[in-house]
C-alpha cells in the first residue's frame, strides 16, 4: 500500500506518482508499468525536455505522438476541446490550425494528470494490438518495446524473438541500431541478440519502477488496476497491483469504523443533520486501535516519518 498526500507540503514530491495511480485506476493499465516508464523517460519530472527532439513531459511524448493520442482519447478524459481541434492530413500527419490552441494542447504534456492518462491510453492501445498480433498476453516489456520501436517495430521484434531469440537485432533494425548503438551492441562491438535486448529492457523497466516507489514488477504480466481510495484530509490510499486481495476489504472496513463514507467528493466523515460528527466518542486519538495505527503508519511512511 502507498498513502499519497495531495494537499500538503509533500504533494509536489508525489504529484506524478498520484497522477499515475489515478490514470492506472481509471484506464486499467498496470500501475507498475506506467510508473517504471515515467521514471525511465523523465526521472518523474513533469517539465523534462529532450535536447535532440520535441519529446516533452513525464512520458516524453513527441509532438505527433501526443497529438495522435489526444485526438483518439482526449474526449474520454475532459479534453474534448483539444481532440476536436486536431486534424489529420491525407498522409496521416496531425496538425492544429490555430497556433495558440496548438501550443495549449502541446503544453498539456507537462501536466502530470493529462500526460499519465494519455500514456495509459497509448499503452492500452499498444497492448490490444500486440496481443492480437502475438496471440498471447502482452507484458510490460512488450509495451516498452512498442514505445521504443513503435508498434510495427515491436510486432516485428517480438515475433522474430519468439521464433529465434538468439538472432542478432541490429540487422533487423539498422536505423534504430545506428541511433542507439549501446542498446544493439555490447561494449566490445558484438551485436546483441533479440533476447538479450529484451531482457535488458525488462531490467531497466523494473529498476525504474523500483526507483519511483513501485513494489512489484513492471516488466512482467500486466496486473489489473490498483484500488484507489481517497480518505479524509486529502490522502489517497493506493493499493498497488501486487497488494493482497484482503487489503481492499481491510481498508473499507477500517474507514467505515472511523465513520468515514465515500461520495463524489471522496471519503468524508459521517455527520448528523446539524453537521456534528456521528458517534464522536467512538474514536479516541489518545487511545489508538491497531487499525487506526496501521492506517496512520501507512500515511506517515510515505512522508518519510516512519
Task: Return the pLDDT at 274.
Answer: 52
In a domain, 170, yes or no: yes
Local confidence band at 294 (pLDDT 50, 70, 90 cut-offs): low
Domain that holds residue 64: 29-211
**271 vs 57: which has the higher pLDDT:** 57
pLDDT tens, position by position, 137-153:
999 999 999 999 999 99
Number of structural domains the chain divides into: 2
Local confidence band at 264 (pLDDT 50, 70, 90 cut-offs): very low
- Quick check: 21 and 226 in contact, CB under 8 A? yes
Cell numbers for 109: 504534456
Task: Return the pLDDT at 306.
Answer: 40
**157 vs 293: which has the higher pLDDT:** 157
pLDDT tens, position by position, 73-113:
999 999 999 999 999 999 999 999 999 999 999 999 999 99
Q: Please provide the average confidence, as pLDDT, over all residues in the chain.
A: 79
Cell numbers for 164: 529465434
Of 211, 233, 266, the residue that ends a domain is: 211
1 & 33 share domain: no
Residue from 113, 15, 108 nearest 66 by CA: 108
Question: Is this prediction's pTM over 0.85?
Answer: no
14 & 35 share domain: no
Q: Evaluate if residue 300 carries a pLDDT over 60.
A: no
- CATH number of 186's domain: 1.10.530.10
What does the pLDDT average to over 185-197? 97
Amino acid at each position: 500500500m502507498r498513502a499519497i498526500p495531495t494537499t500538503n507540503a509533500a504533494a509536489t514530491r508525489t504529484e506524478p506518482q498520484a497522477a499515475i495511480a489515478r490514470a492506472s485506476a481509471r484506464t486499467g493499465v498496470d500501475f507498475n508499468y506506467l510508473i517504471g516508464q515515467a521514471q525511465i523517460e523523465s526521472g518523474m519530472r513533469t517539465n523534462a525536455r529532450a535536447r535532440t527532439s520535441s519529446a516533452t513531459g513525464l512520458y516524453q511524448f513527441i509532438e505527433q505522438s501526443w497529438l495522435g493520442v489526444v485526438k483518439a482519447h482526449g474526449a474520454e478524459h475532459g479534453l474534448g476541446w483539444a481532440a476536436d481541434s486536431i486534424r489529420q492530413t491525407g498522409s496521416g500527419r496531425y496538425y492544429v490550425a490555430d497556433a495558440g490552441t496548438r501550443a495549449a494542447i502541446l503544453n498539456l504534456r507537462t501536466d502530470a494528470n493529462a500526460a499519465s492518462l494519455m500514456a495509459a491510453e497509448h499503452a492500452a492501445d499498444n497492448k490490444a494490438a500486440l496481443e492480437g498480433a502475438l496471440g498471447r498476453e502482452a507484458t510490460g516489456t512488450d509495451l516498452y518495446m512498442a514505445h521504443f520501436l513503435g508498434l510495427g517495430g515491436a510486432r516485428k521484434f517480438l515475433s522474430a524473438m519468439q521464433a529465434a531469440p538468439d538472432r542478432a537485432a541490429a540487422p533487423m533494425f539498422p536505423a534504430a541500431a545506428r541511433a542507439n548503438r549501446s542498446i544493439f551492441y555490447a561494449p566490445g562491438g558484438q551485436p546483441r541478440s533479440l533476447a538479450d535486448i529484451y531482457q535488458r529492457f525488462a531490467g531497466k523497466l523494473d529498476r525504474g519502477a523500483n526507483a519511483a516507489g513501485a513494489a512489484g514488477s513492471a516488466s512482467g504480466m500486466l496486473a489489473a488496476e490498483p484500488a484507489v481510495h481517497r480518505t479524509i484530509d486529502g490522502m489517497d490510499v493506493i493499493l498497488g497491483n501486487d497488494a493482497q486481495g484482503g487489503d481492499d476489504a481491510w481498508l473499507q472496513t477500517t474507514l467505515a469504523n472511523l465513520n468515514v463514507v465515500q461520495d463524489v467528493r471522496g471519503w468524508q466523515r459521517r455527520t448528523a443533520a446539524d453537521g456534528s460528527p456521528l458517534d464522536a466518542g467512538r474514536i479516541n486519538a489518545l487511545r489508538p486501535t491497531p487499525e487506526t495505527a496501521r492506517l496512520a503508519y501507512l500515511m506517515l511512511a510515505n512522508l518519510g516519518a516512519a
